[in-house]
Structure 1
Amino acid sequence: MAHLEVEVQKLKKEVHAMWGLVLGQLRHAQQALQALDPVLAKAVVKQEKHINNKELLIERHCEDIIALHTPVAIDLRFVLAVLKINTSLERVGDAAKAIAKFVLHSVLDGEMPFDAHLLAISRLNEMCQQATGLLELVQQAFEQEDSSLARRIFLEGKLLGDNNLKAHAAIADYIRDNPTQVHQGLQMLLIVRKLDRIGDEGKNIAEEVIFYVDAQVLRHQSGQKRNR
C-alpha cells in the first residue's frame, strides 16, 4: 500500500472518531436539556476540549498530507473536503456545548423546566431528533462515499429549517400570550436557533461529500441544482 493511501486511511479513521465525539456530545446535550441534568451538562462542556484537540490533530494531518504527498484528483478532493468537514463538526460541538451551558445556568438560577405547552409548540424534541438524525445520515454518506445519500441531507435540512421558522412564530405567540414567561420563551428561541445551526452545518458537510465524491461544487447553488 502506497504511503499516501496509508495516510488517507488514517485520516478517515480520525474523522470517524471526531464524528463519534461530536454525535456523543450532541446526544448528551439533548439528554441534559430534557432532564435539566447538570452533571451530564458539565460532561458535555468538558468534552469540548477533546473535540477541539481532535480538530487541530485532523487539520495538521491534512496539511501534512498535502505538503508531503502532493495528492491529486480524488485524494486531493478528499483532503480538502475533510478540512471543511472538520470545521463543521467542531461547530456542531460548539452548539452542543452552548445547549449544555444553558442547562447549567438554568439549574444554577433555580429555574423550572420548560412549560409543557412551550415544549409542544416549539417542537423541541422533534428538532433535537432531526438534528441528530441529519448528522448521522451525512456521516453515513461520507463513509460510504454516497453522493446520492448526501443529497438527501438538503431535504432533511429543509425540514429542520421549516420547523425552526414555525418554532419562531409559535414562540413569539407564546411570549405575547404569556408575558410572565418571556425569559423561558427567549431561552427556547436560542436553543431552537442552535439546532437550526446544526442543520446548516450538516448541509455544509453534505456539499463537501458531493465535492469529494463527484467533483461537483454546490456552494451558492439553488436547491434544485443541489438535488440533481
Structure 2
Amino acid sequence: MLKKEDYQHHISATFNTELESLRNQMLSMGGAVEQQLTSAINALLQMDTGEAQAIIDRDAEINQMEMSIDDACATIIARRQPTASDLRLVIAIIKVNTDLERIGDEAAKIAQQTIRMSDDGISPSNFAEVRQIGELVGSMLHRALDAFARLEVEQAVDVVRGDEEVDRQYGSAMRSLATFMLEDSRKIGVILNEMWALRSLERIGDHATNIAEHLVYLVKGADVRHGGLDGLHEHAPKG
C-alpha cells in the first residue's frame, strides 16, 4: 500500500519538497473548484445572477492554476526523470488537473444557464432535480479529493459507485422535465436551460469519478478506468 511518506524518502530534500508542493497545488486547485461548484449550484437555486457572473469571471483563475500545475509537472519530469511511484504521482496529478479544470468549466456553464434563466422565471420543477443531483455530485467531488489527499482507495471506490446513482437520477430528471415541457410549452425555454445545467452536473460526476480512479492508479499502479466496479473492487482494501 502506497503511503504519503513514500514521497519523502529521496536523498534530495529538494525533490521531496517539489513533490509535496505539486501535490499541495493540486489539492488547492481542488478546493477552489469545489467552491466554484457549490457557488454555481447556489446561484442557480437562488437565481443570483451577480454571483453567477462572478463564477464565470473566476474561471480564468482556475485555468491559470491548471497551467501552473502543468508547468510544474513538466519541470519535474524534465529535471528529475521520476520513476515508479514518483512517476505515478506526477502522471496522476496531470490527469486530476485536467479533470479539475473541466469541472471548473462545467461550473461556469451552470452559472451561464442561471443568467439565461433569470429572464424566463422559475422552472416548474422548482429546481428540485438540480438541488438533489447537485448535492450528490458535490459530495462525490469532495470525497474524491479527500481520498486523494489521504491516499484512501476504499473511499475512492465508494465515489465511483456513487456515479451510478448520479446517472440514474439524471435520467429520471430528464424524463420529469420533458413532461413539464409537454404540459406547458411556455416553459420550454427555462426547462431546456435547466436540462443543460443538469447535464453539466452529470459531467461533473463523471470527472469526480475519474479523480477517484486516478487515485486507485496512484496507490495500486492499476489502471481501472475501463474495468467497471468489478475491477475497482479487486483493488479495494479488504477487511
Same-fold call, TM cutoff 0.5: yes
Report if aligned partners of 1:4, 1:71 keep a CA contact under 8 Å in 2: no
Letter of the 1:211 counterpart: Y
Aligned mates of 1:111, 1:184 — CA distance in 2: 6
Letter of the 1:101 counterpart: Q
1:58 counterpart (57, 62, 69): 69
After superposition, what is the alpha-carbon deviation per residue over 1:146-200, rounded to whole angstroms, capped at 9, x for unaligned?
A: 1111111111111111101111111122222222221122112111111000000
Aligned mates of 2:123, 2:105 — CA distance in 1: 22
| Deviation of 1:13 (Å) | 1.2
| Residue ranges of structure 1 left out of the alignment (5+ in a row) | none
Q: Which moved more, 1:188-197 or 1:218-227?
A: 218-227
- Residue 201 (structure 1) aligns with: 207
Aligned mates of 1:104, 1:140 — CA distance in 2: 32
Q: Which moved more, 1:19-28 or 1:180-189?
A: 180-189
Letter of the 2:151 counterpart: E
TM-score (norm 2): 0.89
After superposition, what is the alpha-carbon deviation per residue over 1:82-124, rounded to whole angstroms, capped at 9, x for unaligned?
A: 00100000000000000111122333xx221222x3534xx22
- Residue 225 (structure 1) aligns with: 231
Instruction: Give the number of equivalent residue pairs.
Output: 223
Report if aligned partners of 2:117, 2:190 keep a CA contact under 8 Å in 1: no
Aligned mates of 1:94, 1:8 — CA distance in 2: 27
Report if aligned partners of 1:118, 1:185 keep a CA contact under 8 Å in 2: no
| Deviation of 1:223 (Å) | 2.6
- Residue 88 (structure 1) aligns with: 99
Letter of the 2:52 counterpart: A
- Residue 8 (structure 2) aligns with: none
Letter of the 1:114 counterpart: S
Aligned mates of 1:103, 1:119 — CA distance in 2: 11
Percent of pairs identical after alignment?
A: 27
Aligned-pair RMSD on alpha carbons? 1.3
1:16 counterpart (27, 36, 46): 27
1:67 counterpart (78, 85, 99): 78
TM-score (norm 1): 0.94
| Deviation of 1:222 (Å) | 2.5
Q: Which moved more, 1:182-191 or 1:202-211?
A: 182-191
Listed as ranges, the matches of 1:59-208 within 5 Å are 59-107=70-118, 110-115=119-124, 117=125, 119-120=127-128, 123-208=129-214
Letter of the 1:130 counterpart: L
Aligned mates of 1:166, 1:114 — CA distance in 2: 16
- Residue 31 (structure 1) aligns with: 42
State whether structure 2 residue 221 is matched by structure 1 residue 215.
Answer: yes
Q: Which moved more, 1:178-187 or 1:95-104?
A: 178-187
What secondary structure does 2:121 align onto? coil
What secondary structure does 1:64 align onto? helix
Letter of the 2:196 counterpart: L
